[in-house]
């Protein structure tokens, strides 16, 4: 989950532990000052009565790690990101101190925080169906008679492969978040938990020196079979049962990740283990010469005020982050579209997707460039009408594809300076491809330079057609080329021309938001872009008239124009 997405937060739901009154008072005052809604629930209570899934929600926990774990249990099934404020003592997860609460939230709602996706473990056993962010522990049940046997035997399987028999006080299956203390006790590695999607099998007090922890993927199905009575705990007892001989436990990576908000006001991971576990590779305070400060309101000058950074280059960074953040809800809602049969419900989801993506992008841009104008397919030109810069946005290009579960849709974000597109970003959520370009400075796909093809023979070329109402382009070019494809996204069409996946593109008519970003990318890659008469394509977002566009690698352009002229005078069959 992109931290930029947090900029659209509508409400905060806080899970509050006892003895957190002062932090709660600060949170209440902060939300009131900013016009945000705040709902509070006690630890262990359900948020169903206060949670509205149509609103962008941030979860906050006020307490220690126990409260944070309750937050994970509550928020992660709903994909709500959470920020942990430590009002307890020893805390590895809740790492924002109460005195930094307001500043940390300001940073979060500016879209400047990061969001770690944390792997969880799903556990099924007789009497237990639970998910935990830390671990499951299978341990011997202490005997009533202290001289009786104090070990347990467990058979462990990974998918269909027998791992072996573990004899000792027990076994843990831990996530990277919960691995630290357990892994250290078994002489295993410390896992850096940020976006680390693995599971670890950790033997507890085994009777053999050669038994070490094992790391597996979250897709691995781990099966643990008891040879005698054993105790099962998930996340320190939030789920618990006693197993008998022959019982089977199944553990695998949970489908739902926990989304943990991290700000520059947190004690970061290596600082936390240095302070609390005696990690002696470094001091608790990083020397100034080795410190790399994160971008934050406190530690750096605001990016909007950084006069040393070129506006257009800065805009590229912001556009990239905004597009990727908007891609997340589109991917989520795209999956829902595929599973719905009723047309009206699909329409509702497509509309929601369009508006969610638009809101994320426009909010991020306004945060960073408050004086710029914004022009979106979803709304009229807004604010900054006298600015030299206008952002042109299509939050969902390829709506028809999206509505039918087709992956060929994109997000288009462009910056126009004095009427000319100078920066473009096109992001493809389903493939995670990012096309970007700055006029006069370069064009890239996923950071690598791209360029058009050099084919000069029409019969060797692949063409892409946009809207072609009567099939004129298709009928006149299909036999003359290696084929004509129609993808349903004008922005993508231009990007595929730019990257060499097609040799030419035809659009019968275009809106400015359809092609603003793609125009920069295609031209910077070496494409020739004209109207159907061969005159340079004129970008204009001050008119509602739609314009034809012909783009090519340059070598083919004259042949394409010749055939286009013939198609106008020769009726299609």
Question: CA-CA distance, 298 to 107, in Å (whole number)?
Answer: 9
In our burial notation (b when 16+ CB lie closer than 10 A, e otherwise), range 262-301 reads bbbbbbebebbbbeeeebeeeeeeeeeeeeeebebbeeee
As given in the structure block, the two tokens for residue 521 are: 């990318």
As a whole number of Å, the CA-based R_g of the chain is 28
Residue 394 marked in a binding site: yes
> Mapping DSSP to helix (H, G, I), strand (E, B) and coil, where does residue 550 land?
strand
Question: CA-CA distance, 27 to 101, in Å (whole number)?
Answer: 7
Q: Give the CA diameter of the chain.
A: 101
Q: How would CATH label the architecture of 458-569?
A: 3-Layer(aba) Sandwich (3.40)
As given in the structure block, the two tokens for residue 263 are: 């700000």
Q: In tens digits, what is the pLDDT along the chain, a chain of 573 residues?
A: 578 889 999 999 999 999 899 999 999 999 999 999 999 999 989 999 999 988 889 999 999 988 999 999 999 999 999 999 999 876 778 889 999 999 999 999 988 899 999 999 999 999 999 999 999 999 988 777 766 666 889 999 999 899 999 988 889 999 998 877 677 777 777 888 888 999 999 998 777 777 888 999 999 999 999 998 999 999 888 899 999 999 999 999 999 999 999 998 887 788 877 877 777 777 777 776 666 555 443 333 333 444 445 899 999 999 999 999 999 889 888 867 665 555 456 566 677 888 889 999 999 999 999 999 999 876 655 544 578 899 999 999 998 888 888 999 999 999 999 999 999 999 999 999 999 999 999 999 999 999 999 998 887 788 888 777 666 676 667 667 676 778 889 999 999 999 999 898 888 888 888 899 999 999 999 999 998 889 999 898 776 667 888 899 999 888 888 877 766 545 444
| Neighbour count for residue 188 (Cβ, 10 Å) | 20
Task: Kindly indicate whether the domain formed by 3-115+259-303 is annotated with CATH number 3.40.30.10.
Answer: no
Residue 65 marked in a binding site: yes
Task: Please give the positions annotated as active site.
Answer: 65
Residue 397 marked in a binding site: yes
What is the edge-to-edge ordering of all strands in the sheet holding 463-465?
484-485, 463-465, 504-510, 547-552, 528-530
- Which of 325, 321, 329 lies closest to 295 in space, CA to CA? 321
Residue 52 marked in a binding site: no
Question: CA-CA distance, 474 to 150, in Å (whole number)?
Answer: 78
Residue 509 marked in a binding site: no
Q: Model-level pTM? A: 0.79
> Mapping DSSP to helix (H, G, I), strand (E, B) and coil, where does residue 501 land?
coil
In eight-state DSSP terms, residue 190 is P
121-253: which CATH number, 3.30.70.270, 2.60.200.30, 3.40.640.10, 3.30.9.10? 2.60.200.30
Residue 430 marked in a binding site: no
As given in the structure block, the two tokens for residue 83 are: 């920020």
In eight-state DSSP terms, residue 156 is E
How deeply is 157 buried, as exposed, middle or buried, from its count of CB atoms within 10 A (0-12, 13-18, 19+)?
middle
Could you tell me the residue ranges of all domains in the chain? Answer: 3-115+259-303, 121-253, 310-419+427-432, 458-569
As given in the structure block, the two tokens for residue 407 are: 């992956």
As given in the structure block, the two tokens for residue 50 are: 């206060």
Residue 135 marked in a binding site: yes
How deeply is 449 buried, as exposed, middle or buried, from its count of CB atoms within 10 A (0-12, 13-18, 19+)?
exposed
Task: Kindly indicate whether the domain formed by 310-419+427-432 is annotated with CATH number 3.90.79.10.
Answer: no
User: In 369-451, which ranges are continuous DSSP H helix?
Assistant: 399-403
Length of the chain (residues): 573
């Amino acid at each position: 989950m992109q931290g930029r997405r947090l900029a659209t937060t509508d409400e905060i739901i806080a899970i509050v532990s006892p003895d957190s009154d002062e932090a709660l008072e600060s949170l209440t005052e902060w939300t009131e000052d900013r016009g945000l809604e705040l709902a509070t629930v006690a630890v262990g209570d359900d948020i169903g009565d206060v949670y509205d899934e149509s609103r962008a929600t941030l979860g906050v926990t006020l307490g220690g790690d126990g409260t944070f774990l309750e937050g994970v249990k509550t928020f992660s099934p709903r994909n709500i990101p959470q920020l942990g404020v430590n009002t307890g003592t020893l805390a590895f997860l809740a790492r924002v101190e109460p005195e930094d609460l307001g500043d940390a939230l300001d940073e979060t709602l500016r879209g400047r925080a990061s969001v770690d996706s944390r792997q969880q473990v799903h556990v099924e056993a007789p009497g237990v169906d639970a998910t935990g962010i830390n671990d499951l522990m299978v341990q011997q049940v202490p005997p009533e008679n202290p001289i009786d046997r104090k070990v347990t035997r467990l058979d462990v399987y990974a998918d269909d492969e027998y791992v072996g028999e573990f004899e000792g006080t027990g076994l843990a299956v831990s996530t990277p978040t919960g691995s630290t203390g357990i892994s250290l006790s078994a002489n295993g590695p410390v896992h850096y938990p940020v976006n680390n999607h693995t599971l670890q099998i950790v033997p507890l007090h085994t009777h053999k020196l050669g038994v070490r922890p094992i790391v597996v993927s979250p897709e691995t199905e781990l099966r643990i079979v008891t040879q005698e009575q054993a105790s099962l705990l998930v996340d320190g007892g939030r789920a618990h049962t006693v197993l008998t001989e022959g019982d089977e436990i199944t553990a695998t990576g949970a489908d739902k990740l926990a989304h943990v908000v991290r700000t520059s006001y947190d004690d970061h991971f290596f600082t936390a283990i240095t302070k609390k576990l005696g990690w002696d590779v470094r001091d608790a305070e990083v020397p100034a010469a080795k410190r790399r400060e994160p971008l934050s309101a406190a530690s750096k000058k605001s990016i909007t005020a950084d006069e040393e950074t070129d506006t257009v280059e800065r805009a590229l960074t912001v556009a990239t982050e905004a597009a990727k953040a908007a891609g997340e809800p589109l991917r989520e809602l795209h999956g829902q579209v595929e599973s719905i049969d009723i047309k009206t419900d699909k329409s509702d989801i497509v509309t929601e997707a369009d508006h969610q993506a638009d809101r994320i992008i426009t909010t991020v841009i306004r945060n960073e460039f408050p004086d710029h104008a914004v022009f979106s397919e979803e709304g009229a030109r807004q604010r900054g009408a006298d600015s030299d810069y206008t952002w042109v946005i299509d939050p969902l290009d390829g709506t028809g594809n999206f509505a039918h579960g087709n992956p060929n849709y994109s997000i288009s974000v462009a910056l126009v300076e004095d009427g000319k597109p100078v920066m473009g970003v096109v992001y493809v959520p389903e493939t995670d491809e990012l096309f970007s370009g700055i006029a006069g400075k370069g064009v890239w796909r996923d950071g690598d330079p791209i360029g058009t093809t050099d084919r000069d023979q029409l019969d060797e070329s692949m063409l892409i057609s946009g809207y072609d109402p009567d099939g004129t382009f298709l009928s006149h070019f299909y036999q003359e080329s290696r084929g004509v494809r129609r993808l349903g996204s004008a922005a993508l069409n231009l990007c595929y021309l730019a990257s060499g996946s097609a040799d030419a593109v035809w659009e019968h008519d275009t809106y400015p938001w359809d092609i603003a970003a793609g125009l920069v990318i295609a031209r910077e890659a070496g494409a020739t872009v004209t109207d159907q008469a061969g005159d340079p394509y004129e970008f204009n977002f001050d008119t509602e008239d739609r314009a034809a566009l012909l783009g090519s690698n340059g070598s083919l352009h004259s042949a394409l124009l010749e055939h286009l002229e013939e198609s106008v005078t020769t009726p299609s069959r």
